[in-house]
Structure 1
Amino acid sequence: MNKSSVILTGAEMRAAEQAVFASGVSEYELMERAGAAAAEIIWRAGGKRDLLILCGPGNNGGDGFVIARMLRARGVPVRVAASGESRTPSSLKARAAWAGGIEDVMNAAPASQIVDALFGTGLSRGLDGKLAERLCSLTGSAGFSYALDLPSGVATDSGALLSSIPSFGVCIALGSLKPAHVLQPAAAQWQRLICADIGIDGAMSTVHRLEPPHLAEPGPSAHKYRRGLVAVVGGEMAGASMLASHAAARSGAGMVRRLAQDVAIGGMDAIVTQQATTGTDVAKALSDPRIGAVLAGPGLGRNHHALDRLEAAIAHPHPLVLDADALILLADRGPAAIPPAAIITPHEGEFVRLFGDLPGSKIDQALAAARQTKAILVYKGNDSVIAAPDGRVAVSSGSSSWLSTAGTGDILAGLVAGRLAATGDGFRAACEALWLHGEAARRAGAAFVADDLLARLPAAIASRL
């Protein structure tokens, strides 16, 4: 796991800092590290443009005073504006080391660059209304803007906005990413996220940001069944199962069979379409031991015929991916109806229908649902969370907003099934599929439809070989 992709909650970050202090590094030394790392990032981005640093009363403000001192030493015209007196020993020390003047935040003039070092992480309530308004005004007038650790007014562990938050050019995460760096709505509040290494060990965390996968070409002995056979259980809406089948066929799997409910419709010749009208037909078609993964849900329908087909798919021991209508059908039976070790891919509405309104952040909710069902969960959205029962979590944020169009979920489900058939590893398959889905969307650009993603998948895969 890449060190810069580790995600720590506020409590985990405090524990990691305590471990640093126990090793002999003082709190103020760690503050100096944080300030130096942030100062280097700001220097590289803004050079000697005039800079205003807004400092709060705690250690985030202390980091701001360190930044001010270090950048002034490089010739940057720096001004500091404080929201009040410093209140922690380290912030008091950093403030005393700053030889310049200190203005009042409410009266400070704008600057070309601005740093929000008011509060950062750890807030339980939003900023005072006038202070929040002032932060937005000063940030909006700056050409370069930086949030230190997190914009002031963001809830660290959930990503909720506790008060009005301006948009920043850069958010500088100190030591490790926090949940708010990858969860909406907070993650939309900056253009670029940089994690500054200050010597924090996040090895204890099982939560990380989704990273580009390492894929492999088929070996010399590969053939269509060794590369993975995917069976897609179709239903009332043939187009949805076709999209999923096309995605599975382009995922790196070796072969796709679509079990159609009615007369087969046209499509890719490489996809074998087999008519399977009843649950009994589906069960018979799935008796092939070479099948590496079964996908049920896209276009399945929600009547008793669809339920019969779904039950036939669940009855077989093949690795299973459940999406869309399959999740709606099972929701009436509760989470216990989800087969252990399956991969399920709900969006928010389907998740709530299955699990109710669970407490905590989206990461907490996904992990609780995965542990409850013993299934791999892909909780979809602009911030998608993949959670495994053993505690592993991968979070993808910042996906293309153009994915909010019909059929893109069917393509993701097909990709998950294809990667599952190819790798045999549910968590890995979900991570690879989600990354490829996002990369295909990036390559497709703007105003695409789901079908457009299919043509971009081979290039997305090639980029990771």
Structure 2
Amino acid sequence: MPISELKKLPGHDQEVMALSPNPRPILSLKEMRAAEMAAMKRGASVDDLMEKAGKVAAEIAKCFSGSMPTLILCGPGNNGGDGYVVARYLSEWGIPISVAALSEPKTEAAKKARSLYKGKVVPLDEAEPAPLLIDALFGVGMSRPLDETLISRLKILAKAASLRIAIDVPSGINTDNGELLSDIPSFDLTIAIGALKPAHRLEPAATLCGRVAVGDIGLILPKPSLMEIAKPCLAAPTASDYKYSRGYVAVTAGAMAGASLLSATAAQRAGAGYVALFGGETNAGTMALVHRSWSREALADERINALVIGPGLGRDELGWQRLSMALDTSHPLILDADALFLLKREGLDCLRNIHQPTIMTPHEGEFQRLFSGIDGDKLTRVKKAAALSGLVVVLKGADTVIATPDGRAAISQPAVSWLANAGTGDVLSGICGAMLARGLEPFEAACAAVWLHSEAARLAGPAMIADDLIEHVRSALIEVTVTV
């Protein structure tokens, strides 16, 4: 995030790069260490990297909070060293600074950073609260809980502060999976040093991180296997386009008419040129929505670019018959809701026999039923499920994770909490259908759909329902559409 934009963004960090070609990488601790080692092989030292990290963190902190009196908590390692560099710069810029240390520095770089800071350093238990609290205690690499006495002291100082900033990650968080190792306070801003880490986007850590700004320290980052879901860049229709060239989405109706109608309408609002609802018992919906009887002949239409099946399908024999017919086609598929229940009933071999481009969009409960033998943290589970099924898997939630069979994955920015509402998943299925139908590959289609879905929710605002969400899909699409 450009420092100049920090004060302009409401809520969580909303600035994202285009889906192509520059999504922001998310690096594991191992990958981050490798990037730092590569920088040192090119001539940088640990001291150089710490100086850059501390300076950029100080710049971001000043931009975020102004000249508020600041208390910096420094730990014994290199995260604490970053804190001493921050203290030095903020002090040079005329900001009232106090520093409290958990212990004396233990790494050579941290010792040097401490020596260059000429201000007073007090023991942590003697620290006086300040309007701005900066946590530079432990950062990345934590694998065990914090001492209870330390947690208690941290909570007291955090509660007394008006703003709270963490350097790299809040102390007490597992960097690679977002697990909370301790009962720690929340922060208003986390400054990710060098690159985003999984904990910045995976719950429950993501909520405690607050807004996240990336501090560039000049590392050459590897090509990511994990990235942040980014703002897509979608081409507007050209003069030569017509309704079918913009994408024909077929949505399968079933036992619950409302769910499939939500999907179909969302596909329309997400830019599909032609949307048909197959097998519905109602003529509700927009005037432009085509209603067709369910038949093998209708399903065989070669103009269909994406087939959405599952929302409102039903779990009875008729639902299974329709799902079986859909699986027998060559149309790209979006599998959701009741389709996932029926696939669990038939066994995972049914998934492995799907050969057309396919996106499945389970919520946590559906995922656990379908992939009951897979354990681990959320990111690990989704990647395992994608590899096992051979399909693109979208595990929905506050921290939606998308994974491909070849190991690529993406995590969303924190979602609007009002999305926890009936029907919003059906809307996502329809948007996925529109993205597949316009010719995007399944992973790119899923990423674009999740971004549009989340942005529409942000635009719809508090107390929205799925119908409101659909009304704002169009506005979200306008934001990302460019004339070629």
Both structures adopt the same fold (TM-score exceeding 0.5): yes
Identity %: 47
Equivalent residue number for residue 316 of structure 1: 329
Equivalent residue number for residue 395 of structure 1: 411
Which of 299, 302, 317 lines up with 1:286 in the alignment? Answer: 299
SS in 2 for 1:291: coil
Deviations 1:153-203 (A, max 9, x none): 011011111111212121000001000000111111143210000112223
Question: Which residue identity does 2:441 align to in structure 1?
Answer: D
TM-score of the pair, normalised by structure 2: 0.92
Question: Which residue identity does 2:88 align to in structure 1?
Answer: R
Q: How far apart are the structure 2 equivalents of 1:200 and 1:140? A: 35
Equivalent residue number for residue 271 of structure 1: 289
Q: Is the 8 A contact 1:259 1:273 kept in 2?
A: yes
Which of 376, 397, 400 lines up with 1:384 in the alignment? Answer: 400
SS in 2 for 1:329: helix
Equivalent residue number for residue 35 of structure 1: 54
Equivalent residue number for residue 301 of structure 1: 314
Give the CA deviation at 1:463: 1.2
Question: Which residue identity does 2:60 align to in structure 1?
Answer: I
Question: Which residue identity does 2:477 align to in structure 1?
Answer: I
Relative to structure 1, the CA distance from residue 334 to residue 58 in structure 2 (aligned partners, 3 Å threshold; closer, same or farther) is: farther
Q: Is the 8 A contact 1:231 1:293 kept in 2?
A: yes
Q: How far apart are the structure 2 equivalents of 1:256 and 1:436? A: 18
Equivalent residue number for residue 81 of structure 1: 100
SS in 1 for 2:237: coil
Q: Is the 8 A contact 2:23 2:229 kept in 1?
A: no
Q: How far apart are the structure 1 equivalents of 2:222 and 2:29? A: 15
Q: How far apart are the structure 1 equivalents of 2:192 and 2:68? A: 22
1:449 aligned onto 2:455: no
Equivalent residue number for residue 222 of structure 2: 203
Equivalent residue number for residue 66 of structure 2: 47
Q: Is the 8 A contact 2:23 2:230 kept in 1?
A: no
1:17 aligned onto 2:33: no
Give the CA deviation at 1:424: 4.0
Give the CA deviation at 1:377: 1.1
Deviations 1:404-463 (A, max 9, x none): 111000000011011101124211211111111111111111101101111111111111
Q: How does 1:38-187 map to 2 (within 5 A)?
A: 38-187=57-206
Give the CA deviation at 1:357: 5.1
Which of 186, 194, 207 lines up with 2:213 in the alignment? Answer: 194
Deviations 1:254-275 (A, max 9, x none): 11111125x3332212111112
Q: Is the 8 A contact 1:160 1:184 kept in 2?
A: yes
Q: How far apart are the structure 2 equivalents of 1:112 and 1:165? A: 18
Q: How far apart are the structure 1 equivalents of 2:333 and 2:86? A: 52
Relative to structure 1, the CA distance from residue 209 to residue 371 in structure 2 (aligned partners, 3 Å threshold; closer, same or farther) is: same
Q: Is the 8 A contact 1:347 1:380 kept in 2?
A: yes
Q: How far apart are the structure 1 equivalents of 2:172 and 2:245? A: 52
SS in 1 for 2:125: helix
Question: Which residue identity does 1:38 align to in structure 2?
Answer: A
Equivalent residue number for residue 328 of structure 1: 341
* Structure 1 gap segments, 5+ residues each: none
Q: Is the 8 A contact 1:247 1:414 kept in 2?
A: yes
Deviations 1:37-82 (A, max 9, x none): 0011112223332111100011000100111111111112211101
Q: How far apart are the structure 2 equivalents of 1:83 and 1:116? A: 11
Q: How far apart are the structure 2 equivalents of 1:291 and 1:122? A: 49
1:351 aligned onto 2:367: yes
Relative to structure 1, the CA distance from residue 121 to residue 346 in structure 2 (aligned partners, 3 Å threshold; closer, same or farther) is: same
Q: How far apart are the structure 2 equivalents of 1:317 and 1:215? A: 25
SS in 2 for 1:25: coil
Q: Is the 8 A contact 1:172 1:193 kept in 2?
A: yes
Q: How far apart are the structure 1 equivalents of 2:285 and 2:376? A: 44
Q: How far apart are the structure 1 equivalents of 2:268 and 2:90? A: 54
Q: How many residues in Structure 1 have an aligned counterpart in Structure 2? A: 459
Equivalent residue number for residue 371 of structure 1: 387
* Structure 2 gap segments, 5+ residues each: 1-19
Moved more, 365-374 or 244-253: 365-374
Moved more, 383-392 or 54-63: 383-392
Give the CA deviation at 1:2: 7.1
SS in 1 for 2:95: coil
SS in 2 for 1:35: helix
Q: How far apart are the structure 2 equivalents of 1:2 and 1:95? A: 41
Equivalent residue number for residue 429 of structure 2: 413
Relative to structure 1, the CA distance from residue 402 to residue 274 in structure 2 (aligned partners, 3 Å threshold; closer, same or farther) is: same
Kindly report the root-mean-square deviation, in angstroms, between the aligned alpha carbons of the 2 structures: 1.4
Moved more, 69-78 or 316-325: 69-78
Q: How far apart are the structure 1 equivalents of 2:456 and 2:22? A: 26
Moved more, 56-65 or 330-339: 330-339
Q: How far apart are the structure 2 equivalents of 1:65 and 1:21? A: 21
Q: How far apart are the structure 1 equivalents of 2:322 and 2:471? A: 30
Deviations 1:86-124 (A, max 9, x none): 111111111122222211112211012111000011100
Q: How far apart are the structure 2 equivalents of 1:83 and 1:448? A: 46
Question: Which residue identity does 2:289 align to in structure 1?
Answer: I
Q: Is the 8 A contact 2:191 2:212 kept in 1?
A: yes
Relative to structure 1, the CA distance from residue 352 to residue 456 in structure 2 (aligned partners, 3 Å threshold; closer, same or farther) is: same
Q: How far apart are the structure 2 equivalents of 1:126 and 1:106? A: 19
Moved more, 426-435 or 406-415: 426-435
Give the CA deviation at 1:403: 0.7
Relative to structure 1, the CA distance from residue 7 to residue 72 in structure 2 (aligned partners, 3 Å threshold; closer, same or farther) is: same
SS in 1 for 2:146: coil
SS in 1 for 2:210: strand
TM-score of the pair, normalised by structure 1: 0.96
Deviations 1:382-401 (A, max 9, x none): 10011122222221131111
Q: Is the 8 A contact 2:35 2:222 kept in 1?
A: no
